[in-house]
Structure 1
Amino acid sequence: MEESNNYGHQHPLLLVLNQEQLINYGSGVADCSRCGEKVSAPCFCCVEHCGFYLHKVCAEAPLELNHPFHPHHPLVLLQEPPSSYTETGCYCNFCGKTCEKFIYHCSCKLDFHIKCALFTFNIAENNLKELEHVALQHPLVFTENGDEELEDVAKCFVCWEPLAKYTHFSPDCGFNLHEKCAKLPFKLNHVCHRKHPLVLQFNSEELPCKVCQETGQINIGFVYGCSPCNFSIHIECVSPSPIIEDKSHQHPFSLILRQAPFICDACGTEGNHAAYACCTCNIMVHKKCISLPHIIKCRWHHHPVSHTYFLHKEYFGRLDCMICHIEVNTEYGSYYCVDCNIIFHVNCATRYAAFFYVVSPENEDEKHLDISLNSITSVLERNDAGEATIIEHFKHNHYLTLSDEIREYGNKCCDGCMLLISDSFYYCSVCEFFLHKACAELPKMKPIWNHSCQLATLVLTSDNIFRCEVCDFLSNGFAYKCNECGRHMCLRCQALPPDALSCPGHEHPLLFYYEFVGRCSACGLDIKQGFSCKDCNYSVDLSCMLLPTRVSHKCDEHLLALTYHEIHDYSKHHYCDICERKRDPKRWFYHCTTCDTSAHVKCILGEYPYIKTGSIYKEGDHPHPLTFVKKIQLYPECTKCGEPCEELALECAEPECNYLVHWKCMNPFVSGNRFLEHLDF
């Protein structure tokens, strides 16, 4: 052992040269104070035995590292991750694990543990002598036997593919390499890129592989690339298979390496450098498109759709993709429904795993949910036109009668969708129960396109109270509940179509875009998903599209209508009659034409617009039934917090019991609607 400088530590340090000396010095399971890994010799130990240890490699790590795999900028050694990472966290771009202290950092958001940066540096420099503890061991590693001790070493740290049975493996530092990956050349020439040699490097630009077109696991492992040309090839794609056979196609595909671009006959997008051709069928495809599923069930359509390499155009007009709404070139591959004349770009339909599932050939003719056998009503009487005039609904105890007397009942809410009665409806003559005809005729079970569980069929329910997964409002109306994830979707949201939707505030139909960048014309907030017009700059997010068109509020004796365009052109009318603050005349608002009352959407709706007052709340520990109430006169005190009950509250139904509690006091962990929290119109 020899004494050394203290590397910023308050006590002198001793250099321990071998593991036996380290054990004699008294170190059992200590960690290196820089890399956080279990300490091993050679290392530095504190002479005062205060628990400070440093691997020799970590102690001598340079403050700046010019890494061959990242030649653009030097990597700077930092004691802690940059402050901008506080929310997202800092992760090593080599091993993918969290970086907590002493990291090598680059301004282009590349970060590495000390050990990862130095390890890869030695690989790049072909300095295998420094890796003797890794490269000279050849244990037998069975990754398929489920050995818990090998869970973290199941993949190679270079190509990030599963380890073969024989591998270079170090139990001390945890690095694992295929033997072939430890001996990869730093540079090589490739027929797909003749301008420059390809260099082994990190894929920090997240470039897709020019051979397979896949990005792979972002920022993990290495690729061969040419930085000046933004060119990247996965290690396993450097020598692609010359012939590929796949059960989805009856003939084998042969590899064609060339630098000229081509259009893939399977997906209709451009490819470069490597194509696979079937000479029998005269088609040329990307490697990844060889195994495209023949039939899939896509979220946006209720029938399975089949992959086809081309469609005879004389039978069709313009066909737009149901997802991106851009025209599909029918001379190339697409997914198509013959029955409905619905089409999808291949890459749109299969972009995310949650968008589709594969229909196996034996299930091609599977029967879909028959709504006629899935009715929630029993018809007791019909009129001469065949309409059901008296029904029995499975969620109500009394018979319901059909009516169209909207003037008489127009201030009542439908107990299904919680909106004001606006169309033909059923009512109960015994109690205050109303259902729109459309809500009463909904099936008991249905698949819903904008629910994320692929194979789920949601079941109609009337749980006590729920939060809708789409609009985020609390409601005690009807909902569809997923038996897989348990989430609810209210009747308003389940009715949203995946295609064109008319909006009273705009002359053109609006199309749904799963990914959208823009601002909502109704509220002015940024949109991530929503409905937009292809003809003009008009977009509406999901929450605004679902706003009720008519509402009642104590500020006016009449119903207020959702208004899309300012009806006054002078500024004194641009104020809310409820909060008395200024309104943005470009944003939607509620208005009464009779009284000239105008108000913000947020002020009219309040936090709980879809909770029906007078309905029973069946949860909680109070011994008597509780009913929902709003704005009780004289604002009595809450039994729990003592504050006045000005908003939604629960009141005991027993006349002699004075129990009254805020809804928020009863449910302190149920937050408000995220949409309303950010709304300012």
Structure 2
Amino acid sequence: MEEKQLNHFSHEEHPLILSELRKENDDGSIDRKFVVCYGCQEQILDPAAYCCFACHFFLHKRCAELPRQIRHPMHSQHDLVLLGKPPYYSRSCICDACGQDDWKFFTYHCSLCEFDLDVSCAILDQPEILEQREIELDCHHHRLIQLEKPASFLCDACGKVDEDSSYLCPTCQFWIHKKCALRPTKVKHKDHNHSLQLAYSLPSDHRKFPQQCSVCWKKVRLRDWVYYCGPCRYFVHITCVVISQKDEEQLREDIEYPISGEQVQNVVKLPSNNTAQELIARFLLKEDEISNSNDSVKSNIPEEIFLISHRKHPLVLLEKVQNLDEIESTTSDDQEEAKALLVCDVCIEPICSSDDPHYYACAECGYVVHLTCSNLPPKLHIPQHPQHPFSLMHNPSAVGHFTCQACYRWTNANYYNCKPCELSICIKCASASMITSSVKHDGHKKHLLAQLQSSDRIRCTACGGYTYGGGFGFACEDCHFYVGYNCALLPPTTTQRWDKHPLLLIYPPYFEHPEEFYCVLCEKEINPNHWMYHCRECDYSLHPLCIPQIGRVKYGRFLNVNNHSHPLTHVPEAKYKSFCGSCNNRRLDWEEAFECDSCRFYLCPDCAYERELTDYEE
């Protein structure tokens, strides 16, 4: 081996000679000198090293050739200078990377900050390994350097603080976990039909509305790395994606409803077209009668009754026709009118012939009531408000609007009221609050729902609004899925007057529908993370609350007001170029109003309430 000398600053007494440390004997055995590198204090296993045998001083070839000055990612503001030993009075230091104390050997040092690294932590000592430890990512302009020793820090990729190996940008302090840096760009997830693409921030096309992770239901922040399916608007945090086949097999069973055969009959299934009546029946009947009501029970139904909410005339038991074609009407308009009139005046829900066609009606007033609603208890103890009982109330006003404090919708239905607390709840929400079993809702097929336990305001997953204080809603705590009564009790289908097709209640993610959704009634864009009604044949959508019949108001009631000789009819939409005849000619085009057909006279609901002639029967 050709002799190579090196004058090294760490050993100025003698030059260092590049020497072989192992020798092969004639019998094939190898003699190896056991020596330790002064610079890094590790055993020298290389065939050769720089040596001063007189002083018993040795250096790895790589340690002897270390650069005297570097810029390190852990201290990028200043250069670090290589010293033969720490410059302090004690001749020792603490490594600012690994915390090793009493270090007395090669040290990269910043005199301005008294920052020190031993050579093992200053990974720039191995250029050939350094190449393997540097990576480039599409999301960052600079190369990232791997730090070997685990560190606890806030990751710029997943937003979590974990102790892990990491990659750091020496230029701008961009710091991410190693497991995040090595994420695959495309994955399959058990809950979605399509491959998910890795994005280093929330894609710009999806920033109009707040996005939620479809696994943990927490917000996807603008700078979060995320896996997503663009056409379906499906987003998952990178830490929420199940990649391993083992984990996926363990979780796959959790997709179905975890209910036994004995539980099926006690689980409330939503959505339903007859929700109010089904729920009322549950707390009116004993549990063993819920699915066993028979003809003998129905034969005891009285033919005529009086209700406190309608004491002028008796209500007579009638039966709704099974098909509108059976109505002796000559035009489809007459049939639609007959259909529209059959709305219960107590709960403001349609009287459907698909279940029990019997109902009570007043022939003179057009007042109709479900069989179930005719048996509502005058007092009700609602679990969410155990302080006082609620009394069944009705508003004799034809306008009759009040705001339900469970679903926060305007309605002219009857209601339950807690007088001491001034708390009023509509019939439908009161019946929902009496559910003691689990709820199976198509909007969340992964698990069953239970009554919401918290009385705090919680954001409804279905509409993005808040479920107001009182706990009037359903929840899956495991998935952070919350839905207020307002959305949970929506019917699965509804109709619009101009469309012969049914409107279906649909839930995100909306597979294979990359186009934006706009409500055809209010003409505003619909948040694709929320529930909506959709016509598949015509491909148009609507906000649930934009549909008149979803608003829980019964139209068609008559109202007498002062200073007008004819009765006014409550209509969901005033005609084009209509004005309120009382409040400064307010424009009422297509808005709820009280209308006089004879005079083309209109009043808005507020003015109708003020001018109503209050001749209520006591």
TM (norm. structure 2) is: 0.40
Higher Cα Rg, which structure: 2
Taking CA–CA contacts closer than 8 Å with sequence separation of 6 or more, which of the two structures ends up with the larger relative contact order?
2
TM (norm. structure 1) is: 0.37
